[in-house]
Structure 1
């Protein structure tokens, strides 16, 4: 990998943990600890993204090299680099958790390629000083889910980390998948994740909680200098602009989540990126039937804090924690409060525009809010597949009858026999208004459908699809991982050869482990 241009800005400019032993501990007055990955016994490359490799300066030929295998499995260290784990804190499920840090992630290095900077990070590469009671390893099932999902999200147009490689470690890892006292050995695996940086809201929370204000000031100035160079002005002005930029980027990310029906599942402040990119794919899921109260996370099944419909409010709550963290550098609450208040106001405005565009409505009328609200209600009366409904809605034309329009979306219903009497009447009423509303649009039916199909994906990574790939991979068959990887690179295209994946969740997946609810070990 001769073209990798190493640039260790994070470790050369920020305070390091002077203790270089790999023992679990509280790490103070430092933003990271040096730590080497645990060497895997017999690594094997399952899959790698040529696109991401080229992004960071690795050629397709180099992917097949022994050097690539060794470096991105953690077996060898790149020359002129020192791997490290980051120290940060966070709020988990609304409660302050104190120091967290990279418990199963190790940053290999930062590289520069074509005037862009990327951090290369191994997930599942072994214990760090932040692993607490865990082993820092990852298993095949969670690694397949992360590897595929990050790339799926990128091609959906959702801000995200990227996936470079997926490897088997050759070692067995003990996991209790449902936290119910039934641990079992699983295949160990390692994913290489790529992002501009892995700086989180919790990175700033940690420094303020410990009153390390000198480090806080140094860290925010480092972050602005390298990742938000467009921000200028006096220090206090810069800090406020930084917060506003992070809020805006976060709002854009959440808007995309809601657009495609993605539920993160564990929106703790340590899982929120200052770049406004989706990080830490654990118990995530896509809505199958449209249900704003759905969360895929077993840990959250009672309170549903991180349910689909609550993601905008949680993003604001997390930003409030970030505001508290940088407040000591500003010492004035109102400017921060103004940004926080505008977050939801701006989100609601953007959400309305986005939702109407999913309906193929690109002008604005006074009845639009009611049309949206009524649709969100009727979508929940009987189980209706979100992805299939919105994709098929593009086939509805202005001069269609209500009956004809209904036929075009009917395969989105999970229980078709329910669509009768009262439920049918609700749909009839909604489609009657919608068809009249379409006539206000200047676009032709074909032009409108084309625009809608760039907004409403045909293919998303449903949990049952991931589980099928995981089950096959567990038997040594990686063909399904490759098939899904190819499918999800073009989620808005018809791809008739992959039509079988444009389908509702099968009945067997309704309550199967890994297909409905998942734990944080997922």
Structure 2
């Protein structure tokens, strides 16, 4: 694609693996290994994002070309590029895992467009030196989930990687979807995802763990130079500022997750971006009924480390690991500890403002904490759909009676027959306090509803929706993939023709594989 402006800063400026064989191994004193994608047998373009193509400098016409298909399926290599897999380590489920690396991701190249830099990465493009016991490939179901979710998150206003293309490889891939000894062949696919870079917390952890401090210093300075150019001063001060920036953007990202009810499912340090963007969409999910203890990841079902309500604390824990990795450059704990200590304090302040905004409360009052805590508790008394509840809350007017207000939110209840006696009494008491609080707001009902509907999405990528798209795509019908793609580009709009997607999780999806909980199998 002649329109792409290639600029491979990462490979030009950082140490490469001198070994060129694509064998599984420990790779030391380097940040990446050159490796070519596995050639697919019969690639077929399922979907591509014109917006992301334009972002990186690809025209609409080029999307339909054989060159686009061949490059972004891994069949052909772009001229003047040399694909590579990154070497990094990480903590997985709280335990040090040692070397991990891009086991099923291959970076094609970096491009420059309109003074912005982007890395183009194929996920599911084959084995790398970091694949461990796996084949480096990906299946259609996980690829559809990644492709749709990254774009859905972007339009929700959540910092994220982007999706350029979804391509069927034409090959069969063996996977054990539930890790229960029943492997089966599935259709293989490749997603091209786009980000400023795919540098992770674990990238620095690896260098410090191996005592490769010269490379650590070079890599941190490279990162600051290219991605945080506003940071200046003495080297030590730059390293501290860098950590502060990562902590701040991470906090804001998690705040958005909590705002829309997103649960990442596998917040290992190798899945945390230094850009504060959401990466690695695996066993993620959206809260259906509001449950802070819910995790979508079957691997996490016992300890629930990555449950919805624990995401801020896990983010802080992961930042602590990053601080440990940067410590050899700073040689002083106090400034790093100060940033870590303030993380949850700052998050809780931001969370309060965010939560009140979801409620349509834009001024402060002494009763606000009580309103928030009361609602968080009452939402769990009976299964209550988070997305529907907050969206319909905007319909309540200041002059409504408690009974009128209740009618406007009762569609959110999964088991309406349970809303009686003490549960009904609790809702009526909360709504009474809420209505009184609304009466002190200066915005009109219409103005408040408008602002609330910019914060509370009407449509999110519920797991059952993604599974329906997967089921139809598995039969060769990709229309639902496109329907959801278009729907989720305007998640805050009413979209009357798509009202069927503004619905609670159907009963059949409560326990169905891919709809309730998911494994990391992809």
Which whole-Å CA distance do the structure 1 matches of 2:320 and 2:238 have between them? 18
Residue 43 of structure 2 aligns with which residue? 43
Which residue does 2:138 correspond to in 1?
Answer: 138
Residue 190 of structure 2: aligned partner = 190
Q: TM-score, normalised on structure 2?
A: 1.00
* Residue number in structure 2 paired with 1:199: 199
Task: Show the counterpart of 1:368.
Answer: 368
Alignment of 1:103-502 (within 5 A): 103-502=103-502
Cα shift at 1:45? 0.1
The 5-angstrom pairing of residues 13-28 of structure 1 reads 13-28=13-28
Alpha-carbon offset, residue 521 of structure 1: 1.4
3-state SS of 2:129 partner: coil
Partner of 2:7: 7
Once the 2 structures are TM-superposed, how far is the Cα of residue 203 of structure 1 from its aligned partner? 0.1
CA distance in 2, matches of 1:492, 1:126: 37
Alignment partners' CA distance in 1, 2:151 and 2:521: 20
- What's the offset of the Cα at 1:215? 0.1
CA shift digits 1:484-503 (9 cap, x unpaired): 00000000000001000000
Question: Structure 1: how far apart are the matches of 2:366 and 2:463?
Answer: 38
The aligned residue for residue 74 of structure 1 is 74
Cα drift, residue 350 of structure 1:
0.1
Q: Any gaps of 5 or more consecutive residues in structure 2?
A: none
How far does the alpha carbon of each residue in 1:146-170 deviate from its partner, in whole angstroms, 9 at most, with x for none?
Answer: 0000000000000000000000000
Aligned length: 522
* RMSD between superposed Cα atoms in Å: 0.3
Post-superposition Cα deviations, 1:177-218, rounded to whole Å, max 9, x if no partner, equal 000000000000000000000000000000000000000000
Q: Which residue of 2 aligns with 1:86?
A: 86
Q: 1:426: how far off?
A: 0.4
Structure 1 residue 8 displacement after superposition: 0.3
1:306-345 CA distance string (max 9 Å, x none): 0000000000000000000000000000000000001000
**Per the alignment, in what secondary structure is the counterpart of residue 91 of structure 2?**
strand
Deviation at 1:438, TM superposition (A): 0.1
Q: Residues of 2 paired with 1:31 and 1:513: CA distance?
A: 37
DSSP-derived class of the 1:372 partner: helix
Distance in 1, Cα, partners of 2:206 & 2:493? 44
Superposition TM-score, scaled by structure 1 size: 1.00
* Residue of structure 2 in register with 1:62 after alignment: 62
Secondary structure of 1:170's counterpart equals strand
| Separation of aligned partners in 1, 2:23 and 2:3 | 34
CA displacement at 1:517 relative to structure 2:
0.5
What is the CA distance between 1:443 and its match in structure 2?
Answer: 0.1
Offset at 1:2?
A: 1.2
Deviation at 1:303, TM superposition (A): 0.1
SS at match of 1:111: strand
CA–CA separation in structure 2 for the residues paired with 1:371 and 1:458? 23
